[in-house]
Structure 1
Amino acid sequence: MGNKGTGNESANRNEGTDGLPVSLESCLLDLRQAEETIRQQQRLLYQSEAQHNLLFDSLDEGFCTVEVLFDNADQSIDYRFLKVNGVFEAQTGIENPLGRTMREIAPEHEQYWFEMLGRIALTGKSQRLEHWANALGRFYDIYAFRVGDPMDRQVAILFKDITERKRQEELQAYLLRLNDALRSLSDPIQVQDVVTHLAMKHLGADRCYYCEIEEGNAIIRRDAFRADLPSVANVYPLSDFPILSTVINAGHPFVVFDAHTTELLDDGLRQLCLQTQAISFVDIPIIKDDSPCGILCITCCEPRKWRKEEIELARETAERTWIAVEQARAAEALRESEENYRAIVNQSIAGILKIGLEGNMLFTNDQFCRMLGYEGAELLAMHVNRIVYPEDHERNAAAFHGLVSEGRAYEIEKRFVRKEGAIIWVNNHVSPIFNNKGEVDAAAIVSIDITRQKELERQKDEFIGIASHELKTPITSIKAYGQILAAMIDQSSVPPTFTQLLTKMNAQIDRLIKLIYSLLNTSRIAGNQLTLQLEPIDLNGLLEEHVRQGQLTTSRHRITFIGEKLPSVMADVERMGQVMDNLISNAIKYAPKGGDVIVRAESRGGWVRVSIRDFGVGIPKEAQEKIFDRFYRVNDASAGGTSGIGLGLYICREIISRHQGQMAVESIPDEGSTFYFELPVYTERQ
């Protein structure tokens, strides 16, 4: 109990019974303690304010506190700036705002802003919004909220200038609408019509038109214009329309805010603008490859301060208009080209077919459908082998493989099967179609129906075969009679002229016999009746024999054989001799001035090659592929009018082909030719 009052003893000893200080010292002590407490609180307040101001000024967004001013009816009429942060001026363009009202700073500031801030000050309900401030020429993202005592009617505003972002969004939205509108258009005039109306509406202009610059003229095909204005669509010589010439010469956007006062126009241009009511305008020239090709013009009948973003939008519109017009023109030209192409292709007397590398048919013209009796849709659903005669599949596939692997065009005769089962012969010229990587992507086939020609050839071959066979017997008899007559005459009792005539007659009979046998061989080849008596042979002996025989027929040529030890080949001795005689005879014939003829034999892996080279007139390049065709002869004056019917080389190649070999020629005009053939080496079966 005695200690119970000690806690208050110190506090109460300086006070009297009435609660007043008992001494001056105690009073001063209390005063000093109170002052220290106040100083500490001031330091804390200063630190807090310093931190607050540091945070306040470190914001990259604008911030201000305003006092909203009301009239007697509690309608907000203005607001005064009480506090702003460091980026306020950069975000608004307002200098020294503190203590000033918004109407004092920007009298044309929209009423919307006063009403919105007044509503927040009265209700305390914060608001976030994005809105345009016309008087400041900026778009803002804003968060506004009430601060302090409601009676003070103060509002804090956190805001950010988003004008550039909004401009880009607006531009992108406009361009998206423009692209959507242009996407389906393929007519250049429609493009201009859509663009001008869309741009005029979006920019709130009175007129918009697109000029095409062609051969010194400005051509306005379509224009958009206010209802009470006339159209200006027409053709204007640039020399008579100086405004457009001025725009072109400027080479960049030509912008006039007010034709009445601008210094960009001389008096003549000014009067023209006033007459056409083009008081303010943005003209965008389009220059490609240093030449003007178009101008986009946007005009208003009243003065107007065009904003940077509006000029940029006009520039982008002009560029896209030019692109769209050019694309439409290209599409129109392509459409006309395709129509012409289809008309030509479908009226062609040749069948035209496009096939993929897997043999799927991708395109066919009308003539090809008629040739085979199918509808186009039926053919496009089929594989090409469905229409190729089965016996021609392997040969056709081999030729097509060469096209795919080497990109080599080829020509082939083969049979097609019509829809009703009939067989037709066709001559196909097959060419590779390359993709942008240079790879074979498909094949184009030009097909000619040669069924009638084949039938005529068959009839001709049949006639040749019959005629040759029928001529063979009497010619053989005439030959025998000539030989008997030559043996019977007495050289001493007959005139020399008689002997000479008999010798010439026998030579002509030999020539006729050779011709008849050539025709017989041709007939046999055409009828697949050329038989071979195959046996393993050493070509060296056969070649040497025929070289000696060939040398006996000429005194102006030196025929040389160069050989090496060769492996055996399977061959028909008589037929191979026929080939050698023909090739040596041709070498002599087509080197009329004489010279060397070189016969060479060599082993090449699994093949034996025999070549016959002359140094005569040579063969033109365009004739080298055709020279093995039946009845083909080179019409070359330098050959000296050599005789023949064009069967020798044809028969030679067919003989070599039936030996499973191949034959070709290499030639340079005026330097000579080398004919060669290759035969597979004979391998004895175990």
Structure 2
Amino acid sequence: MRQQVIDNAASLYKDPIPVPFLFPRYPEKIHYPLIEGTSYRYDGIAEGLFTLDKNWRCIYASTSFLRLLDKKSHDLVGSQVWEIFPELEATALGSIYKCSMHDGMPRILVDYIPAFSGWFRVSITPTAEGIDTIIQHHTKSTSERHPSYTSEEKYRTLFNSIDESFCLVEVLFDTYNRPYDYRFLETNEAFKQQTDIENAVGRTMREIAPLHENHWFEIYGHVALTGESIRFENHAEQLHRWYEVYAFRMGAAEQRQVAILFKDITERKRMEHLKDDFISTASHELNTPLTGIKAYTQLLTRELQKAGDKRNTALAKKLHHHVERMVNLVNNLLDTSNITKGEFPLTKERFDINDLVGERINEFRLLNQYHQIILNTKPVRPVFADRQRIGQALGNIITNAIKYSPPTGKITVSVSDVDEKFLKISIEDHGVGIPAPSLTNVFDRFFRAGSADMPTYPGMGLGLYITAQIIKHHGGTITADNKPDKGAVFSFTLPYD
């Protein structure tokens, strides 16, 4: 378990850290051999023994335990354990106490206990009365104990000083094995700062935030059951915050414990929202005058052609071309804004995909005299999709292929069946290809592929992002890859229905 923590923390800190153990060890479920109801007779045993009732009050303390604390019986009996040891609640031992009181399972912890100034083996056994605790000096030599404690201190200092919040939780499942809550077992200093939750250890999330969204429990339940780690961003509405989260399972599957590293990204999300609002407003404001300018350039071009003014006709056509580029840019900004808001409706109809691909290629052939665009199709069934949006996606990928291909370069567009449910469209070029580090980000918003030995190409990095969103909203998949002989291949699938 401790190595798992080290491995998963390595992504945050490059220097290796040799820790003995960071979190409490949960041993096999061993019941210490106490005779229930007779614990008060064990005043002569060498180990320290004390008993708590269901309300956490001390109802018995053995002579050896009192000797450890240099206390009298009346100093402890009748007082809550949290009053006797104020620092206990925020420690690993405190979290184990709460877990054992909750689920009735015995536990053992070997740890350095500052109140006793040494290493001890603590055996916790729930009983009908409450909890029996036996404390024994741990058998490690002094030379073994202190380096371990020093290393443990270093690790706790590290995890309490990192910006990321950390917590260890036990996911709780109902009788149908469905996750419905989780209990906090361990937290670091940043946890309180980024959640505003105090004294979380031992409490459940439902106790703290009764309306906490179900998807949090489902995600952590999946991690606990499968062992699959996950990174995600999500909103915690009752906490009024956004979080970036990395969750991974701790220990064996039956323990159902999940370690969570997370960061409050509420301010970042607020700034993104402001940026998206600005883009949306600016795009709408630009769209109206551009529509008028486009109409006037078309009218001007026709009038100059009628007058036989070839020189000014050519200039008017160039002007119209640049206005078209501006209109496309604004439309891309509008699409991006709508996608981020979740406002991206599709108008689906059944149509022949080969007809659409042929139309788009003919448009590019008329506008581009230099690149050779080859169409390679196979008979496929009509597809049920948004014809205009699929045409837009095709146009974006072909435009990208032309942009990154040399003059007279060849571009091949292929259409084929995948199976009975999906068809596939691929666009291959013989251009500069995609730098390997960029392959995973090529469909990100505002991302522009490039490297030190690649020239700079115009564009805002929105075309492929919008294309990927169009395909995703249709229930398809999209990929990008490099060809061995140079160039790139973009492929996407579409469901027939």
| Mapped partners of 1:388, 1:402: distance in 2 | 22
| Mapped partners of 2:221, 2:437: distance in 1 | 23
* Structure 1 position 343 matched with structure 2 position 165: no
* Structure 1 position 472 matched with structure 2 position 295: no
Confirm or deny: 8 A CA contact 2:170 2:255 kept in the other structure.
no
RMSD, aligned α-carbons: 3.7
| SS in structure 1 of the partner of residue 200 of structure 2 | helix
* Structure 1 position 381 matched with structure 2 position 204: yes
1:413 pairs with 233, 251, 255, which one?
233
1:51 aligned residue: none
2:315 aligned residue: 501
| SS in structure 2 of the partner of residue 489 of structure 1 | helix
1:618 aligned residue: 433
Q: Shift of the alpha carbon at 1:581? A: 0.6
| Mapped partners of 1:443, 1:340: distance in 2 | 23
| SS in structure 1 of the partner of residue 372 of structure 2 | strand
Q: Shift of the alpha carbon at 1:505? A: 1.3
1:427 pairs with 238, 241, 244, which one?
244
Q: Shift of the alpha carbon at 1:654? A: 1.7
| Mapped partners of 1:501, 1:664: distance in 2 | 40
Confirm or deny: 8 A CA contact 2:241 2:264 kept in the other structure.
yes
Structure 1 residues 587, 376: closer, same or farther in 2, change over 3 A? farther
Confirm or deny: 8 A CA contact 1:619 1:669 kept in the other structure.
no
What is the identity, as a one-letter code, of the residue corresponding to 1:580?
L
Structure 1 residues 399, 381: closer, same or farther in 2, change over 3 A? closer
Q: Shift of the alpha carbon at 1:666? A: 2.9
1:571 aligned residue: 385
What is the identity, as a one-letter code, of the residue corresponding to 1:414?
N
| Mapped partners of 2:209, 2:439: distance in 1 | 34
1:461 aligned residue: 276
| Mapped partners of 2:259, 2:356: distance in 1 | 46
Confirm or deny: 8 A CA contact 1:623 1:634 kept in the other structure.
yes
Q: Shift of the alpha carbon at 1:466? A: 1.4
Aligned residue pairs total: 351
Question: Where do 5+ consecutive residues of structure 1 fail to align?
Answer: 1-179, 181-322
Q: Shift of the alpha carbon at 1:403? A: 9.3
1:210 aligned residue: none
1:543 pairs with 334, 347, 357, which one?
357
Confirm or deny: 8 A CA contact 1:559 1:599 kept in the other structure.
no
Matches within 5 A, 1:224-263: none
What is the identity, as a one-letter code, of the residue corresponding to 1:571?
A
Confirm or deny: 8 A CA contact 2:186 2:201 kept in the other structure.
no
What is the identity, as a one-letter code, of the residue corresponding to 1:585?
T
What is the identity, as a one-letter code, of the residue corresponding to 2:262?
S
Q: Shift of the alpha carbon at 1:679? A: 2.5
| Mapped partners of 1:550, 1:422: distance in 2 | 52
Confirm or deny: 8 A CA contact 2:430 2:486 kept in the other structure.
yes
What is the identity, as a one-letter code, of the residue corresponding to 2:295?
A
Once the two structures are superposed, residues 227-275 of structure 1 have per-residue CA deviations (whole angstroms, 9 ceiling, x without a partner) of xxxxxxxxxxxxxxxxxxxxxxxxxxxxxxxxxxxxxxxxxxxxxxxxx
1:642 aligned residue: 457
2:215 pairs with 382, 393, 401, which one?
393
Structure 1 residues 378, 577: closer, same or farther in 2, change over 3 A? same
Confirm or deny: 8 A CA contact 1:598 1:614 kept in the other structure.
no
Q: Shift of the alpha carbon at 1:508? A: 0.9
1:228 aligned residue: none
Structure 1 residues 520, 635: closer, same or farther in 2, change over 3 A? same
Q: Shift of the alpha carbon at 1:607? A: 2.5
| Mapped partners of 1:398, 1:599: distance in 2 | 39
Confirm or deny: 8 A CA contact 2:428 2:488 kept in the other structure.
yes
What is the identity, as a one-letter code, of the residue corresponding to 2:490?
F
| Mapped partners of 1:380, 1:671: distance in 2 | 58
| SS in structure 2 of the partner of residue 525 of structure 1 | helix
What is the identity, as a one-letter code, of the residue corresponding to 1:523?
S
Once the two structures are superposed, residues 363-399 of structure 1 have per-residue CA deviations (whole angstroms, 9 ceiling, x without a partner) of 3322233222212535753379968963x728x8479
2:395 aligned residue: 581
Q: Shift of the alpha carbon at 1:404? A: 6.1
2:324 aligned residue: 510
Structure 1 residues 444, 476: closer, same or farther in 2, change over 3 A? same
2:481 pairs with 661, 666, 677, which one?
666
Structure 1 residues 667, 493: closer, same or farther in 2, change over 3 A? closer
Structure 1 residues 637, 441: closer, same or farther in 2, change over 3 A? farther
What is the identity, as a one-letter code, of the residue corresponding to 2:195?
L
Once the two structures are superposed, residues 393-438 of structure 1 have per-residue CA deviations (whole angstroms, 9 ceiling, x without a partner) of 28x847984896584x543221014xxx342112223456676x9x
Q: Shift of the alpha carbon at 1:485? A: 1.2
* Structure 1 position 522 matched with structure 2 position 336: yes
TM-score with structure 2 setting the length: 0.61
Could you tell me the percent identity over the aligned residues? 31
Confirm or deny: 8 A CA contact 2:336 2:466 kept in the other structure.
yes
Confirm or deny: 8 A CA contact 1:613 1:674 kept in the other structure.
yes
Confirm or deny: 8 A CA contact 2:223 2:248 kept in the other structure.
no
Confirm or deny: 8 A CA contact 1:597 1:615 kept in the other structure.
no
* Structure 1 position 369 matched with structure 2 position 224: no
1:604 pairs with 406, 409, 419, which one?
419
Q: Shift of the alpha carbon at 1:481? A: 1.1
Greater relative contact order (Cα 8 A, min sep 6): structure 1 or 2?
2
Confirm or deny: 8 A CA contact 1:598 1:612 kept in the other structure.
yes
Confirm or deny: 8 A CA contact 2:223 2:247 kept in the other structure.
no
| Mapped partners of 1:517, 1:406: distance in 2 | 43
Structure 1 residues 347, 571: closer, same or farther in 2, change over 3 A? same
| Mapped partners of 1:342, 1:424: distance in 2 | 26
Once the two structures are superposed, residues 138-181 of structure 1 have per-residue CA deviations (whole angstroms, 9 ceiling, x without a partner) of xxxxxxxxxxxxxxxxxxxxxxxxxxxxxxxxxxxxxxxxxx9x
Once the two structures are superposed, residues 444-498 of structure 1 have per-residue CA deviations (whole angstroms, 9 ceiling, x without a partner) of 43322221222222222112111111111111111111111111125776472x3
Confirm or deny: 8 A CA contact 2:247 2:260 kept in the other structure.
yes
Structure 1 residues 552, 431: closer, same or farther in 2, change over 3 A? farther
| SS in structure 1 of the partner of residue 364 of structure 2 | helix
What is the identity, as a one-letter code, of the residue corresponding to 2:244?
N
| Mapped partners of 2:436, 2:423: distance in 1 | 26
| Mapped partners of 2:212, 2:478: distance in 1 | 27
Confirm or deny: 8 A CA contact 1:665 1:673 kept in the other structure.
yes
Q: Shift of the alpha carbon at 1:518? A: 0.5
| Mapped partners of 2:495, 2:223: distance in 1 | 21
| Mapped partners of 1:601, 1:330: distance in 2 | 67
What is the identity, as a one-letter code, of the residue corresponding to 1:651?
I
Structure 1 residues 474, 345: closer, same or farther in 2, change over 3 A? same
Structure 1 residues 503, 425: closer, same or farther in 2, change over 3 A? same
| SS in structure 2 of the partner of residue 454 of structure 1 | helix
Confirm or deny: 8 A CA contact 1:389 1:415 kept in the other structure.
no
Structure 1 residues 387, 342: closer, same or farther in 2, change over 3 A? farther
Confirm or deny: 8 A CA contact 1:533 1:571 kept in the other structure.
yes
2:7 aligned residue: none
| Mapped partners of 2:220, 2:390: distance in 1 | 27
Confirm or deny: 8 A CA contact 1:608 1:678 kept in the other structure.
yes
TM-score with structure 1 setting the length: 0.45
| Mapped partners of 1:387, 1:676: distance in 2 | 45
Structure 1 residues 565, 669: closer, same or farther in 2, change over 3 A? closer
Question: Where do 5+ consecutive residues of structure 2 fail to align?
Answer: 1-45, 47-138, 173-178
